[in-house]
A and B are shown apart, each in its own frame.
Chain A
Amino acid sequence: MSAQTEVALGRIIGAPVQRKEDGKLLQGQALWVDDMHVPGTVYLGVVRSPYAHARIVEVDVAPALAHAGVVAAWSGADLAEEWAGSLPCAWLPTEDTRAPEHKPLAVDKARYAGDAVAVVAATSRAAAEDAAELVEVEYEPLPAVVDPEAALADGAPLVHDELGTNRCYTWSLEAGEVDRLFAEAAVTVSQRYRQNRLVPNAMEPRAVFVQTVPATGEYTIWSTTQVPHILRLTLSGVLGIPEAKLRVVAPDVGGGFGSKLDVYAEEALALAVARRLGRPVRWTETRSEGYLSTIHGRDQIQEIELAATAEGRITAVRVRLLASMGAYLQLVTPGIPLLGARLYAGAYDVQGYSFRCDGVFTNTVPTDAYRGAGRPEATYAIERAVDALARAVGKDPVEIRRLNFIREFPATIASGLTIDSGDYEALLDRLLEHVDLPAFRGRQEARREAGDPKRLGIGFSTYVEMCGLAPSRILGASRYGAGGWDTATIRCLPTGTVQVVTGTSPHGQGHETAWAQIVADRLGYELDEIEVLHGDTAVAPLGMDTYGSRSLAVGGVALYYAAERIVEKARTLAAYRLGVDESEIEYVRGRFAGPDGSLTLKELALSAWTAHDLPEGMEPGLEASYVYDPPNFSWPAGAHAAIVEVDTETGAVELERYVAVDDVGVVVNPTIVDGQVHGGLAQGVAQALYEEAVYDDAGNLLTANMATYLVPSAAELPRFELDRLETPSPTNPLGVKGVGETGAIAAPAAVMNAIADALAADGVTDLDMPATPERVWRALREARR
């Protein structure tokens, strides 16, 4: 099998095929976890701490037990013996990373507002909710710490007393002569940015449903998860149940964006209660409960310095990051900021690179992966800092980017990784075909001269990101607890259809369609002859699931190689059946042709199944599997521009245009890819303009529901203008890269740079996200003083 890129795979890969998934979703026939009804089910109500930090003095469940319909109620102490281990953190980035105990119910202390302290099981959802409110918990409130800088100060309240510090870890990387480059630099810029804390808000709330067969000790866990395989093995560890006794099913899952890449207390609780009661158990979060119990994203303080020549050529980058972990480590909490650790030089060629990140515990909801995870943060810092440098050296943002782009590929960057392929200048050129920059500057200037209070601004974001997690070897070196491979099985059925089993676990991305396109292209089946199975550990026992834009770049490539194996075996069989040498067989999409006759793959599948006449030693059946471990990450890149109008009288920001030119390698389905870009952009724009989880100093989440946290609607978002270039990835035979996170990675910087451009003449260039009217207005007032 060659690892050569085959761009010209044919017309099915690259076609805007309509999705196979849609029929049931459009007609209300999806199966969501909360749709499952089984007689005898008990519903869980979780009692949560109203305090950000408090000693749990006493928990009295008796009043709840007296409530009609209540079957059982337990405190954290009551369930302590259920746990064979803590809720897992699979990524401890340094040897001395502090990983505090994290049991599904807190016993001694509640460490954030929302921390679960007791659970009630009742025969109806309503009874469970009502009874949960009757549990009497006596708390001794303690001082809380919310801000990551304050958490490191002397005398700060300790989130975990036993650790003696709130520092979780310090991770650093130093490459090149950074100090010398800074000392010799003609120009340096130093910037400080705040990454606003975000609430992922997948539209389907989290839910879990557990069925058990007490006689065999087997459990089926239906979960709104992105990671059924990871959930299975980790729950095995938390509950001490052999993995073989657990089956995890992710049925239809309504979005995740990283928030369902986790192993949650409620999943462990449902399993423990099913084990105790021998009954089916269900829990569904209310949205407001989700704000307090489902992971948040971002929440970092970033300091970035650039060293440059007088004309603005960047020589070195230095970054200091403070990342809030929240109160506990969830599945990959500490690793999230480090997914951006090597990307703070962006698309630019630098010699020196220095990065340090301190992970810090605070009395807040744990942070973890949210769309982009580490890479939006890195992109934001470098893209804003490059604009600051442009202002410092008197250059245009476009010029400064051109001056600094990486130009030779593959490119080994200062931080030590190798970018597979790209053409950053071509992306920028294409962007400027859509955006007439001189005309815009004219319009901008004219407004300014006319004294129009509505300023115009343009912002650029020329990002590169690493995704497609990931080469197992690199994950191991980064102290991640698992590999980054994925699996595919293709089973050619005797009746002319084909079953595809994938280790990825889609929850809106359209894998059933895209995977069918790959198989149709390689094996010649019609799209509706291909069944794609996923998200059930009984059907797809081996997989690494869906996150980090990995599904196509890893799982899709595994499928390509499995198809190659099918072709190989079928070719041997075809040669045997046609009585010719294998070298005489020509294979073209589903048909094996010899000098005087041919056989279709479907005919061969039937003969392999009957097995009446096979070559000596050949196994019956036409089935193949492949486990693919990528040799590198995949490296999408793009050039985005935002044009904003800022009303200096009200502070209101209006996004006039957003243009995105992306290079995500070979595109399997352009319609699906556009959809992924749209969705990512919406979340990126939302980070810049609307969303922020705000805590008060006491650790109360002030934006604790959908009415106070602004998830934008259609009315707040613009039409996005998309274009694409394709630089095939040379590391996989499909030439594909990831795409799911690009929009969320690029957009915050583009929008905030545009606002800074609009207001630079008014003296406002430092503005934090989200740029709400109030924040913009205050910054302007401050600048006028």
Chain B
Amino acid sequence: MPLVHSEEQTLLREIARDFISEKSPTGELRRLRDEPDPIGFSKSLWKEMAELGWAGIPFAEEFGGADLGHTELGVVLQECGRTLTASPLLSTIALGGTAIDLGASEALRKEVLTGVCSGQRILAVAHQEQTRHAPYATETRATKTPSGYTIAGSKTFVLDGHVADQLLVVARTSGSSRDRNGLSLFLVDAETPGITRTRTLQVDGRNAARIEFRDVEVDGQRLLGEIDRGAEILDPVLDRATAGLCAEMLGGIEAAFEHTLNYLKVREQFGTVIGSFQALKHRAAELHVEIELSRSIVIEVQQAIDSGDEAVPELVSTAKARLSETAFLMGNEGVQMLGGIGMTDEEDIGLYLKRFRVQQFTFGDASFHRDRYANLRGY
């Protein structure tokens, strides 16, 4: 398949860019942060996004979805990334909805995805427990009861966990911590007794939650897939969400680069624009090269997901490592090239730097993914 967007995808991008730049320019994030908004994103914006069909992009028409692919979801995420738009696209669509779509029974899919596609239901996936991404390092336990399971343990860095209506909880049903086998996925209503959620305000102005599960009862019908084999759902879900995150990162990187490049062309020192200094030119050119490579891998990984390519895990790790490195470079070079103003809260580049930091770490940073890639490649 050619590594370019189709006409329809290009059209979607244009629509998304117009919509986002009008409704959710970069300043929006600052407003949400400073008010401070109790949930961290605009519910009315999410409603409009859902009306445009974005909440249902990868889901079937029978649930109200658009029956498109992750390439299209990536197109929209990339545009949102440009202005750092906060929305549940990642938590609810790329992660939660995808988990339901891949793992749930027909009845459960209908129940949950219908609400997701209409924009009414927010989901969060509760998988992480430690200070870094380690998908199988799960100590949270689910113990069998006559009618279902009881979940006990604690989760951290649950994206949009503070506002989610339902949580997808990764719990251990057998084996010991770090085993891939023995994990199971449960769909749990967020208001179930025994759940305590604490909103954590992140450096990027977004939200995640710490969640405690104190003997939380869950019905046996709410198990996704088979018992002990949750990783078979979790792995492809994380791959898809990571690919989506990479698209969002690419959008942010592109916007930050354009912004920086523009400054190089207008700011004058020593009687000339600073963009004429070779030290800065070369660094800008290097950034451009890294961004070109990032563009290629982002579209490639999304097309691979949509075509069911078996190399998806390797490609996802390649993409996340690459995008994390490029985002790191862009954030740091951006602040440096803007000089003093780059350090101010009023300048947008700082918002990008902070968001990049969180994105780099989410779902595993570059070294995590190089390690995973080497494992997948058998060395």
A and B interact: no
Contact surface of A with B, Cβ cutoff 8 Å:
none
Contact surface of B with A, Cβ cutoff 8 Å:
none
